[in-house]
A = this chain, B = another copy of it.
């Protein structure tokens, strides 16, 4: 064996950036907090949700689940909360506490280091605020912890911030489909050169491993979802809501699996169906009997000028399919947590493509991994 993982050092041969990732992979790093705090779409939505709905906060008890640097807790206090409990599992809690003091809110905001599942509060709260959303909403999301917090600590009349969440899927075109195919082919070319060298120089024929190597590379380049901020004109047909979550009532079971069938009409002349994109939005609507004065939406949909750090998750189809206006897609979508690796999500697309004439193109079935 040798070089020991790729996690190693920067400037390495294989693992550019891996070091960076390993180093900042926990929320205990300010660098990562800064990335999230610099996301204007995210920040504006929460800021407006709080300050344009002060009636939900004035004189109230608030719980911030996963407070990170403490920004939502501080805003809640600034909007008039009587008391804010800011729970954070990582050492970032120490920075949050420092920040709360520097902004002279230590009498209102109480930073608690601990996991939401174990924390004990001295009272039930009127509002739970949390920025719990992961890539494509549910990837490594904290929603389980938010549900736990709600069931234990939210008053029966309490309000969730955000109150609703939706997942979307839409058909797309993207040059990534060619790029990833090229990457895959380059990796295979390289493999064949490697096979020759190993046979010639070292007397061992490794060609029997070509198939597993190809499978491994295919999985990596072609079956793993990609992060991207798409331009809206890359969405080539109608997008569909594949999941709606009411944050006040959803259970953990409700989000273990996402299953949806939907139709999508191609709306662009002579283009390529290169795959699908998945994104989400959340809404701040308050509660039926205690609604928001001003409803706020936070969307991570493709946008020409409001990209987010969440971007969209891209699922590429190889080879892309030539499509035209009035073509219709019937899509069955499912997403599950991987049995082998809980962190991993497995996604499956079943696509039936019908022409206006009623003629069907060959159906597509593809599996993907969200890592």
Contacts and interface: CB of A to CB of B under 8 A. Distances in A.
A23 B98 contact: no
Contact of A206 (B14, B69, B202): B69
This chain's copy number in the assembly: 2
A311 B43 contact: no
A370 B9 contact: yes
Contacts of A208: 98-99, 101-102
Given A13-B311, A142-B1, A309-B2, A19 B224 contact: yes
A247 to B, nearest CB: 15
A310 B13 CA distance: 9
Most B-side CB within 10 Å, residue of A15, A43, A74, A102? A15
Interface string A2-39: 11111111111111111111111111011110111111
Interface size range of chain A in the complex: 35 or more
Given A1-B27, A19-B371, A6 B32 contact: yes
A30 B227 contact: no
A213 to B, nearest CB: 5
Given A1-B27, A139-B8, A224-B23, A102 B13 contact: no
Given A216-B29, A225-B9, A209 B99 contact: yes
18 contacts: A2-B133, A3-B310, A4-B139, A5-B26, A5-B140, A6-B21, A7-B21, A7-B371, A9-B224, A9-B313, A10-B226, A13-B227, A19-B224, A23-B371, A30-B216, A38-B197, A99-B206, A102-B206
Ordered nearest first, which 5 A-B pairs have the shortest CB separation?
Answer: A17-B17, A18-B21, A9-B227, A102-B208, A4-B140
Interface of A: 1-27, 29-32, 34-40, 42-43, 47, 66, 68-69, 71, 74-75, 78, 95, 98-99, 101-103, 130-135, 139-142, 176, 187, 191, 194, 197-198, 201-209, 212-213, 216-217, 220, 224-228, 309-311, 313, 370-371
